[in-house]
Amino acid sequence: MAPAIVHHAQESNVKTLSTNGALFPENDGAVHDARVVPEPPAEPYVRIVPLGGCSEIGRNMTLVETNDDIVIVDCGLMFPDEEMFGVDIVISDFAYLRDRLEKVRALLVTHGHEDHIGGIPYFLREFPQVPVIGTPLSLALVKAKFREHKVGDVDLQAVQPGESLRLGGIEAEFVHITHSLAGACSLAIRTPLGLIFHTGDFKFDQTPLDGRPPDYAAIARYGSQGVLCLLSDSTNAERSGHTPSERTVGEAFSNIFARAAGRIIVASFASNVPRVQQVIDHAVRFNRRIAFLGRSLQNVVHFASELGYLRLPQQRVIRIEDVDSYPPEEVVIMTTGSQGEPMSALSRMSVREHPKAKIVPGDTVVVSATPIPGNEKSVSKTINNLYRLGAHVFHGAGAHVSGHGSQEELLLMLNLVRPKYFIPVHGEYRMLVSHARLAERAGVSPENVFVAENGDVIEFTRSDAGKVGKTYGGNVLVDGSGVGDVGAAVLRDRRLLSSDGIVMVVVSIDAEDSRVVAGPDVMTKGVFYVPEADELLEDLRAAADEALADCSVEGMADPQTVRERIRESISRLVYERTKRRPVVVPVVMEV
């Protein structure tokens, strides 16, 4: 049944809770099995379970569970690190939800960034009956992902900031907040035990481009009513002061556009609608036409314009194929690839491999984003390549401001909400700890602050609060069409292949006569340069022959024994000669 929309949340007094918790509950001396979650108490309780986004940047997903209901906040993805060879994306483990499916009421979306919605298509493959609820632009971006993943009919419900929904015994209100994407909201989740306030990604922008500052009144109203627990964005918890307004980027853009003699190419996150608006406004102001490059960016521009979040004069828009038909000084290209992704438009342009756009000397390239942790090398490589092609490159300070609040804004949120308990989310572990210290400075008792990691189960009752167990909070790797079928063993093999290569030995045997019919043939990839290693290859064949000769008559009849003998002999010889340990794959065929 669809959640009922109401417009006035009922007030309730929050009971005063005592706790024996600690700032770092995992160090409190208790022994917690890695995946043991005790049976919930018979009395009213609330459990908060982060399945992603704690101790990492990405795949944000948090569960709020009561005796009868579960609501999910976001379901994002994370891009693989350099140790996840060949993996496309990383999503959260849904095992905890599989065991409690009958309690799941809805998936609430705070905003439309990939690290908050990217896992939704995979979630709905398993739980197609769960409604997805968010603001219109957030749901439009979710729908765009459905086209890519061929997701069928699902229950999408659009709400406006300020609306509340009844989800079983839980009530949730979407509260307008400012971020680097329109339609971003915090969530006030009222449970039978008290209010849970989840900030989502936010900053307190006093002069946003759309003229809609955060809903301070609603946030303060909830604070005055009493908040059981605050979950707050920790991305910039280590950065002092305030995060500048998005409008400050306009000043930098004005200087860049005024001085650029040729084409201007601006790379940013596709979903950063305020930044897209800035580029459009400056293209109009400086009498340039604008083209959009990248499917994700084109989707965002289409939906944001359709929903009224983006002001785009269509007479200024040109197709990327027609860019060369206009003088360079009349063109702006906005593109994806600000994170140096290998197949992104900007990265391909930087090595002159993009079929529709080429960097030429005199182009001005603006990288309007800061690297996500882990992407620094790829971003630097892209920038270096742009310089080599003769482009003028602007990146770093001035061309970008963060969409996340710095310390003074985090403290303001804490003082507006005034929570009894506090859980920092959305950040690497050091960021969570820094945010926890800020909460203490803002007056939250140290024993009421919980630094959680993915999978931790934090439980609140009327008499106690603390970590009670841990569920699956690890990575689920998506590689091609496979979800979760790439594990530690596969990654270990890929790591070995990437570091020392592979040696394959192919031999055919007649098991009945216990004799070699053909081979052994030796092939190598990534071990040494073959034309210069003919002598070593001959030695490897000889070692394989010797291993076959050592097999007894009984052993020759057992292909597994033959494989092990060849593997041991080849591995030993390669290491003696090269000090390398390639993957050795004996292929024994019976004829």
Paired sense of beta strands 164-167 and 475-479, if any = unpaired
Contact call for residues 411 and 442 (beta carbons, < 8 A): yes
Q: Which of 395, 404, 426, 435 is catalytic?
A: 404
Residues facing 292 on adjacent strands: 334
Q: Within 10 Å of residue 375's Cβ, how many Cβ atoms?
A: 18
Contact assessment for residue 289 and residue 316, using Cβ atoms and an 8 Å cutoff? yes
| Spatial distance between the Cα atoms of 142 and 134, rounded to a whole number of angstroms | 10
Do 461 and 65 touch, CB atoms closer than 8 A? no
Q: What's the CA gap between 567 and 368, in Å, rounded?
A: 52
Among positive and negative, which fits the CA dihedral 434, 435, 441, 445? Answer: negative
Q: Do residues 177 and 73 touch, judged by C-beta distance below 8 A?
A: no
Q: Are 396 and 370 in contact (CB under 8 A)?
A: yes
Identify whether the C-beta of residue 426 lies closer than 8 Å to the C-beta of residue 373.
Answer: no
Angle in degrees, CA 395, 398, 399, rounded to 5 = 50
233 is catalytic: yes
CA 196 – CA 63 distance, rounded (Å): 11
Sequence length of the chain is 591
DSSP 42-91: SS--EEEEEEESBSBSS--EEEEEESS-EEEE----B---TTSTT--EEE
Write down the catalytic residue from 93, 233, 456, 479. Answer: 233
CA 279 to chain centre: 25
**Which residue numbers are catalytic?**
233, 404
